[in-house]
Amino acid sequence: MKKTFKLQDLDCANCAAKMEQAIKKIDGVTDASISFMTQKLVLEAEDSRFEEILQAAAKACKKVEPDCTILLK
Amino acid sequence: MTKKEKKALWRILAGLVLFAAALLLPLTGVARLIAFLVPYFVVGGGVLKEAAGNLLRGQMLDENFLMSLATVGAFAVGEYPEGVAVMVFYQVGELFEHYAVGKSRASIASLMDIRPDYANIRRGEELVQVDPETIKVGDIIVVKPGEKIPLDGTIISGSSMADTAALTGESVPRELAEGDNAVSGCINLTGLLEIQVAKEFGESTVAKILDLVENASSKKAASENFITKFARYYTPVVVACAALLAFVPPIFVGNWSEWIHRALIFLVISCPCALVISVPLSFFGGIGGASRRGILVKGSNYLEALSKAEFVVFDKTGTLTKGSFDVVGVYPKEGTQTQLLTLAALCESYSDHPISKSLKKAAGELPKTADIGKIEEIAGHGVQAEINGKVYFCGNEKLMRREQIEFETPSQPGTVVYLAEAGRFLGAVLIADEPKADASVAIEGLRKAGIRKTVMLTGDAKAVGETVGKTLGLDEVHAELLPGDKVDWVEKLLAQTSEQGKLVFVGDGINDAPVLSRADIGIAMGGLGSDAAIEAADIVLMDDKPSGIVTAIAIAQKTLKIVKQNIIFALGVKFLVLILGALGMANMWEAVFADVGVSVIAIINATRALNTKNL
């Protein structure tokens, strides 16, 4: 499943790259891409565990930049 | 400026005043330290707090931490003014970076502001504004002059002019009349229109374009990936060098504070921000600027590839030529011209191919009594049709050969449609298509842009292809190709490109999806109103002018030039200051310039990519 999420308060380009890297390492993630310019995360991950993976991704982002949150629609 | 930015600005200004006071006051000892610590905390308090937080979470090499370490270090070795100055400049740079990025983000967003906010629908006597997403297929919406057309549909009453500039970059408005298709995202200029909606909002042109543009930056270019990868190693390496510089040389030569000072310079330069921000910003600007010119690019990677275009391969019909065929000659072997034309039109009556359309147009009204039976399409050849109980073959030369029918070819060049019945040749219809007005300018422009070879692939007869090729000045023409042959030719040409060189295929997106995807970059023209084109291609030209390709390549080349300038400039300055710093020839002021100053210059340079007006 591939979904796009908006990121709030993503303030630094290097952090975006770090987050992308961290999310890609999460087990079950097929692909992840963070665009600093559009403030968006495109996450592609296993269907059955998508929710769980998304939570892990949110945690990974918090670790890099505590202000930044993934807006869950 | 946002609230957050304003707050940061005030802090910096307050810090600067206090800093100036500290510099001017004739203080010594602890009083002097305190006088400098006050502006330091006013400006850098936030940075120190974040640094502490990151340290607790194990994020050692974060920029806040590095800056804090460098400035605290400066205080430790007694360089109070430097410590404050580095923090102030760092904050000024951050603020500017934030502001510039926000600004270009907003200006690009406004370029793409084609999303309709509402649709007018009749409820009884009244017109009500509703969310376009709630409109269903078949509903009738009303668009007043000055409003955006919210959904795709057919005009059932009214006539007007439509401004398509937001979608195509074309400033000449289009005429709209009853029966025409209205495309969402255009602005209705003059008259009241009633439109029967053909697609739901999610499926409409405007939604598709928005989706495409918003997701464009998720496909990253190789140079973007290179930079983020580089940044991952750059910071740890520079920090490690700083540690070595601080502790190894003084063991042999002494003078600890001097070496620590040099190491602090390294820490200031160790942030890769200038690079990490300026490269995606340039691509984002390039993509945004292109969309203003009616060129939709689906990803930074395609823009990067396009800048390395070496071969441009065109489809002929509808791409280089108008695709509006006209019958220019009818040569019956048996019967009259009208009979031949009518028969040919009947055979092709179910086809939407431009050739079939022109036959139907020339034949006029078809006899209603005609009994059209089974029609079978023979790909790349023509059709086999059953009319009034008789089996006819209608198509090109290949079809005649396949059916082993003897035929006569008209002497003028053009596309020839042959008609035969049960092994008997009935006659031929000659159809000609004209090159588009700007096609030869486009080919010329491509050559000037450094394209090594321009090629045209066509399913048409050799004579036709070669005439068009000669008129336009193409390097190669390959004619009489079946759809599958086009893929083969593209593969052959791909093998001829140099290692870095890319092959671009330009088509109309209707019958050439396999070729579009096989080429390095597939460009579809005439995206306005054609979903097929938008979906199949990597780059979409919203209007159908071949000269758009020249513009697209110019934008790509400019963007990549800016990216390269930024990478070389930022890395060059950083390495230079690193070397000078290690040798004791640079101070912290220069280091701050190498970090923040370079960021600012790179960002300003990157925003140039957005300006595509004169390309």
SS3 readout for B280-304? HHHHHHHHHHHHHCCEEECCHHHHH
Tell me the pLDDT band of B241, cut-offs 50, 70 and 90. Answer: very high
**pLDDT tens, B249-297?**
988 988 888 888 889 888 888 877 767 888 888 998 898 888 888 888 9
CB-CB under 8 Å, B276 with A42: no
DSSP secondary structure code for residue B366 in this structure = P
Residues comprising chain B, all counted: 615
| Cα three-residue angle B30-B33-B39, rounded to 5 degrees | 145
Q: Which of B448, B443, B468 is nearest to B547 (CA)?
A: B443
Residue bearing tokens 């088509």: B507
Q: Give the bridge partners for A32, in sequence order.
A: A43
Q: What's residue B112's pLDDT?
A: 65
Give the separation between CA B393 and CA B385, rounded to whole angstroms: 6
Chain-chain contact of A40 with B218 (C-beta, under 8 angstroms): yes
Q: Which of A4, A14, A36 sits opposite B231 (nearest CB)?
A: A14
**pLDDT band for position B553 (cuts 50, 70, 90):** very high
Tokens 């009633």, residue located:
B194
The H-or-E segment that residue B422 falls in is: none
The residues that bridge with B128 in the sheet, in sequence order, are B121
Pairing between β-strand B453-457 and β-strand B309-315 as defined by DSSP bridges: parallel
Confidence (pLDDT) at B529: 59
Interface contact A14-B273, CB threshold 8 A: yes
The answer to whether B166 touches B114, Cβ cutoff 8 Å, is yes
Residue to test with chain B: of A4, A6, A11, A14, most B Cβ within 10 A: A14
In this structure, what token pair is assigned to residue B20? 């100036």
Residues in B closer than 8 angstroms to A64, CB to CB, are: 59
Three-state DSSP state, B51: helix
Tell me, what amino acid is at B143?
V
pLDDT of B186 reads 87
Report how far residue B478's alpha carbon sits from residue B8's, in angstroms, rounded to the nearest whole number: 63
CATH of the domain at B385: 3.40.1110.10
Contact B215 A17 (CB under 8 A): no
Element (H, E) at B255: none
Asked whether the predicted pLDDT for residue B403 surpasses 90, the reply is no
Tell me the residue type at A45.
A
What residues make up the domain containing A47?
2-71
Q: Are B275 and B564 in contact (CB under 8 A)?
A: no
| Residue B392 covered by a domain | yes
- Give this prediction's pTM: 0.79
Q: Are residues B457 and B489 in contact, defined by beta-carbon separation less than 8 angstroms?
A: yes
Residue of B53, B276, B284 with shortest CB distance to A17: B276
pLDDT band at B311 (very low <50, low <70, confident <90, very high): very high
Could you write out the DSSP letters of every residue in B29-85?
HHHHHHHHHHHHHHHHHHHHHHHHHHHHTT-TT-HHHHHHHHHHHHHHTT-HHHHHH
Three-state SS for chain A is CEEEEEEECCCCHHHHHHHHHHHHCCCCEEEEEEECCCCEEEEEECCCCHHHHHHHHHHHHHHHCCCCEEECC
Is B57 close to A63, i.e. CB distance below 8 A?
Answer: yes
Q: How many residues does chain A have?
A: 73
Question: For residues B268, B14, B6 and A7, what is the CA-based torsion angle, rounded to 10 degrees?
Answer: 30
Give the CATH number of the domain where residue A63 resides.
Answer: 3.30.70.100
**pLDDT value at position B475?**
94
Helix, coil or strand: residue B258: helix
Residue-wise pLDDT tens digits, B63-112:
888 888 889 988 988 888 888 988 998 888 888 888 888 887 777 777 66
Catalytic residue among B152, B163, B315, B520, which? B315
Interface of A with B (CB under 8 A): 4, 11-15, 17, 20-21, 33, 35-38, 40, 42, 63-64, 66
Residue B503 is predicted with a pLDDT of: 95
Classified as helix, coil or strand, B426 is strand
Active site residue B315: yes
Report if residue B238 sits inside a domain: no
DSSP 8-state secondary structure symbol assigned to residue B196:
E
Asked whether the ipTM of the predicted complex exceeds the cut of 0.85, the reply is: no
Q: Find all residues with CB under 8 Å of B3, minimum gap 6, and list them.
A: none
In whole angstroms, give the CA distance from residue B380 to residue B439. 25
Query: Mind listing the pLDDT tens digit for each residue in B456-496?
Result: 998 877 888 888 899 899 999 999 888 788 899 999 999 99
The type of residue at B475 is D
Query: From B599, which residue of chain A is nearest by alpha-carbon distance?
Result: A13
Please state the domain count of chain A.
Answer: 1
Judging contacts by C-beta atoms under 8 Å, the chain B residues touching residue A10 are none
Domains in chain B, number? 1
How distant is the alpha carbon of residue B85 from its chain centre? 42
pLDDT tens-digit series, residues B99-134:
888 887 777 777 667 788 889 998 888 888 999 888
Residue with tokens 């054609």: B530
**Residue B126, phi then psi, degrees to nearest 5:** -90, 155
- Tens-place pLDDT, residues B201-222: 888 888 887 777 777 767 888 8
How many interchain CB pairs under 8 A, A with B? 56
* Structure confidence at residue B527 (pLDDT): 66
Average pLDDT along chain B: 86
Contact present, B267 and B77 (Cβ < 8 Å): no
Question: What is the pLDDT at residue B313?
Answer: 95
**pLDDT band, residue B449 (cuts 50/70/90):** very high
| Domain membership flag for residue B574 | no
Q: Which residue is it, tokens 């009244």? A: B126
Residue to test with chain B: of A37, A41, A42, most B Cβ within 10 A: A37
DSSP-derived letter for residue B389 is T
Average pLDDT of the segment spanning B314-332: 82
In this prediction, residue B196 has a pLDDT band, given cuts at 50, 70 and 90, of very high
Amino acid identity at B296:
L
pLDDT digits (tens, 9 = 90+) for B563-588: 999 999 988 998 999 999 888 888 88
Residue B511 lies inside a defined structural domain of this protein = no
Which structure tokens are listed for B553?
């390549």
CB contact under 8 A, A40 and B273: no
Q: What is the DSSP string of B499-529?
A: SS-EEEEEE-SSS-HHHHHHSSEEEEE--TT
> Quick check: is B377 in a domain?
yes
B438 found inside a domain: no
- The pLDDT, as a whole number, for residue B501 is 92
B32: helix, coil or strand? helix
| B38-41 contacts at long range (C-beta below 8 A, 24 or more positions apart) | B39/B14, B39/B15, B39/B84, B39/B88, B40/B15, B40/B71, B40/B75, B40/B83, B40/B84, B40/B87
Q: Which domain holds residue B354?
A: 326-432
Both structure tokens of B461: 């007869």
